[in-house]
Amino acid sequence: MKDNKLILGIETSCDETAAAIVNDKREILSNLVLSQLKEHEEFGGVVPEIAARSHLENLNTLIRAAMKDANLSFDGLDGVAATCGPGLIGGVIVGLMTAKSICLVHDKPLLAVNHLEAHALTPRLTGGISFPYLVLLVSGGHTQLLLAHGVGKYERIGTTIDDALGEAFDKTAKLLGLGFPGGPAVEQAAKTGNGKRFKFPRPLSGRKELHFSFSGLKTALRYAAQEIQPLSDSDVADLCASFQEAVVDVITDRVGRALETYGGDKNLPLVVAGGVAANQRLRQAITQCAAAHNSELIMPPPELCTDNGAMIAWAGAERLALGLSDPLDFGPKARWPLDPDAVRAPGAGVKA
């Protein structure tokens, strides 16, 4: 009997092709991420068709390299995990079909992973935290507050009613000509800016319901930018810094209220996950917010906040440890909410 289980994780739901090997002792044996940034750059955003074709071209080579890095053959695996949604369906199909082929040929269990759950479980890989905990999930497609009760058991207590936070960063960057992806570019520009120069709104701050809204903030930034055309580098830096401060205020207000509402005297641990959790200013503000609420904080290192294969492999390892696996006819899902019973937030679109 092997003393640890080895899982291959495959991620292809957006514009990163990723493959990793993780064991159930929380060790990452290999973790390779191939960004498609250059392929989408000229379009100012991810083009689904290009993404799917690029995954198809690169995934097999990447998996082989990840296996080699971990000094492993397919026979040595205990399971193959793949993102089955939510995400761009063409890419999801590429990853899922590849995982199914490996499972079929080598007689391994398939672990169908929800990409959002993989983000939410990453702190159990990096920090070994136990359930229950509060999750702030901030990515390119989602902005949610979740109570994580167990693997597969999430209660969505807040969501964005319009743009996701990563999307707001990306749109801000596009508007200011900072390129794609916007998050890191806005963060970089903000470093030299004055965050107090522009008085941007803090949408939904102070509200009892734990929802978010970012489209008004983006519009306020657009008007402010239009008024001071042409923009100098320092104008751009001030706009980015003021935008980031508004974001930080909104997020800490919402997270603080969630900890007060659901933490009680139990001091609910707080986990921050998803690509925007790589933002250093946000990490710093959330660290203060968690400390003020006596809440243990776990934030994965930035490279495990943005999309990667290790988080998918780990989510697979968590499922396997519970005796769960999935049939080979498991279908890809463009939408796959973590809490299917969540009541739609007032005024929210379908993505919420």
Among 62, 66, 276, 285, binds ligand KG4 (CB under 6 A): 276
Is there binding between residue 14 and ligand KG4 (CB under 6 A)? yes
Q: How far is the CB of 267 from Zn ion (least distance, A)?
A: 28
Q: What is the DSSP string of 251-287?
A: HHHHHHHHHHHHHGGG---EEEESGGGG-HHHHHHHH
CB of 15: closest distance to ligand KG4 in angstroms?
Answer: 8
- The side-by-side arrangement of strands in the sheet containing 133-138 is 153-159, 143-150, 133-138, 270-273, 297-298
Q: Which of residues 111-150 bind Zn ion (CB under 5 A)?
A: 139
With CB under 5 to 8 Å by kind, the binding choice for 187 among ligand KG4, Zn ion, none is: ligand KG4
| 117 in contact with ligand KG4 (CB under 6 A) | no
Choose from ligand KG4, Zn ion, none: what does 181 bind? Cβ within 5-8 Å by kind: ligand KG4
258 vs 305, which CB is nearer to Zn ion?
A: 305
- Chain centroid to CA 161: how far? 18
Interface with Zn ion: number of residues (CB under 5 A): 2
Q: Which does 78 bind (CB under 5 to 8 A by kind): Zn ion, ligand KG4, none?
A: none
Which of these segments, 26-34, 138-146, 223-231, 314-322, binds ligand KG4 (CB under 6 A)?
138-146
**Partners of 6 in beta bridges:** 23
Q: Is 326 one of the binding residues for Zn ion (CB under 5 A)?
A: no
| Interacting partner of 170 out of Zn ion, ligand KG4, none (Cβ under 5 to 8 A depending on kind) | ligand KG4
- Nearest CA among 175, 147, 161 for reference residue 255: 147
Q: Which burial class, exposed, middle or buried, applies to 77 when counting CB atoms under 10 A from its CB (0-12, 13-18, 19+)? A: buried
Nearest by Cα to 145 from 257, 311, 41: 257
Binding ligand KG4 (rule: CB under 6 A), the pick from 117, 187, 253, 326 is: 187
Q: Computed from CA positions of residues 202, 207, 213, 219, in that sequence, does the dihedral angle turn out positive or negative? A: negative
170 interacts with ligand KG4 by CB under 6 A: yes
Q: Is 307 an interacting residue with respect to Zn ion (CB under 5 A)?
A: yes
CB-based contact 142:85 (threshold 8 Å): no
Nearest to 309 by CA among 77, 17, 4, 27: 17
Give the Å distances, CA to CA, from 44 to 37, 41, 239. Answer: 10, 5, 20
Beta carbons within 10 angstroms of residue 294's beta carbon: 11
Provide, rounded to whole angstroms, the least separation between the CB of residue 281 and ligand KG4: 8
Compare residues 308 and 325 and give the one whose CB is closer to ligand KG4: 308
CB of 213 to Zn ion, least distance (A): 21
Give the strand pairing for 297-298 and 153-159: unpaired
The site for ligand KG4 (CB under 6 A) is made up of: 14, 139-141, 166, 169-170, 181-184, 187, 274-276, 278-279, 306-307
The site for Zn ion (CB under 5 A) is made up of: 139, 307
